[in-house]
Amino acid sequence: MTAAITVDGLEVIFDRFRALKGVSLEVNSGESFGLVGESGSGKSTLLRAIAGLAPVASGSITVNGKKLGARRDKAFYREVQMVFQDPYGSLHPRQTVDRLLQEPLAIHGFADGEKRIQRALDEVGLGNGFRFRYSHQLSGGQRQRVAIARALILEPSILLLDEPTSALDASVQAEVLNLLEEVRRRRKLTFLMVSHDLAIITHMCERLMVMQSGKAVESLSAAQLVGHRVTEDYTRNLLRASEGFVRTG
């Protein structure tokens, strides 16, 4: 098995705040890997650092065997795409879906845009009827589908998912998670997915890493988590919390 993403001793510092304190991680090609933790644990920062959206102070990131520098080139973004948490904030409010999907194609100089846009929309289950709508005319779930279509249109091999369903209803969440699993299977994608919900991570990922205040607490497989075979108290707490409210006394 080859590594799709290797992160080694990564430090991210915002002004004087150390958001990531030496985190290492290896995601195999074709694998789905989860990052869990509370707000402020650095899980999103790690994802953003890989995408080139956070100031890396030290450490290294390697994607598909290529070590990344301070700037990401175009070839990187053909390989790695990201889906953000808030579908209300991540689509341009004054562009139609068609225009939104043309943007990455224009940047990367694809000629067969027409065909690709149609295929991308079909793939995420939206169809042609949504092509000339604005994002405010779509529901949250539909917007997230557009964001996924935009990520897939360049045919990347790695998808970075930052809480892709936390802004959605439980019922719409199921649809989007199913869609993500389906495209992953069909295109043999590598997923690196961030969520605060252990149930979602165990559903979607084979392995996961638990993070707390900028550090890795524990790495384990989904099966270990399901079997409650965890070693750290922090993970145990998260696990208990995800089982829902229990009245005491």
Partner 1 sequence: MSGRTLLDVDDLRVTFPTRTGLIEAVRGVSFSLGRERLGIVGESGSGKSQTGRAIMGLTPPQARISASKLAFDGVDLLAASPRERRALRGKRIAMILQDPKYSLDPVMSIGRQIVETLRTHEKVGKAEARDRALAMLEAVQIRDPARVFDLHPHEVSGGMGQRAMIAMMLIAGPEMMIADEPTSALDVTVQLDVLGILDRLVSERGMGLIFISHDLRLVSSFCDRVIVMFAGKVVEQLKASELSQAQHPYTRGLLNCMPRIGFERHPLPVLDRKAEWAA
- Angle CA 157–33–221, to nearest 5: 145
Q: Is the dihedral of CA 168, 170, 172, 175 positive or negative?
A: positive
What residues does 134 pair with on adjacent strands?
96
208-237 binders of partner 1 (CB under 8 A): 225-226, 237
C-beta of 53: minimal distance to partner 1 in Å?
22
Select the residue interacting with partner 1 from 203, 213, 215, 221 (CB under 8 A): 203
C-beta of 145: minimal distance to partner 1 in Å?
13
Distance CA 146, CA 19 (A): 30
The two tokens of residue 199 are 């149930």
Residue from 71, 19, 220, 234 nearest 10 by CA: 19
Select the residue interacting with partner 1 from 73, 122, 169, 232 (CB under 8 A): 169
C-beta of 229: minimal distance to partner 1 in Å?
12
Nearer to partner 1, 51 or 225 (CB): 225
The two tokens of residue 223 are 């099966």
Q: Which stretch binds partner 1 (CB under 8 A): 26-34, 42-50, 82-90, 201-209?
A: 201-209
Q: Does 246 bind partner 1 (CB under 8 A)?
A: yes
Select the residue interacting with partner 1 from 182, 188, 232, 236 (CB under 8 A): 182
Residue from 79, 83, 81 nearest 66 by CA: 79
Which residue in the block uniquely carries the two structure tokens 């689509």? 91
Q: Is 100 helix (H, G, I), strand (E, B) or coil?
A: helix
Q: Does 17 bind partner 1 (CB under 8 A)?
A: no
Select the residue interacting with partner 1 from 49, 196, 209, 235 (CB under 8 A): 196
Q: Does 197 bind partner 1 (CB under 8 A)?
A: yes
Nearer to partner 1, 152 or 176 (CB): 176
User: How are strands ordered across the β-sheet holding 17-28?
Assistant: 17-28, 3-14, 56-63, 66-67
Buried b (16+ CB within 10 A) or exposed e, 190-214: bbbbbbbbbebbbebbebbbbbbeb
Q: Does 175 bind partner 1 (CB under 8 A)?
A: yes
122-151 binders of partner 1 (CB under 8 A): 139-140
**Residues that bind partner 1 in the complex, under the rule CB under 8 A:** 38-39, 139-140, 169-175, 177-178, 181-182, 196-200, 202-204, 225-226, 237-239, 241-248
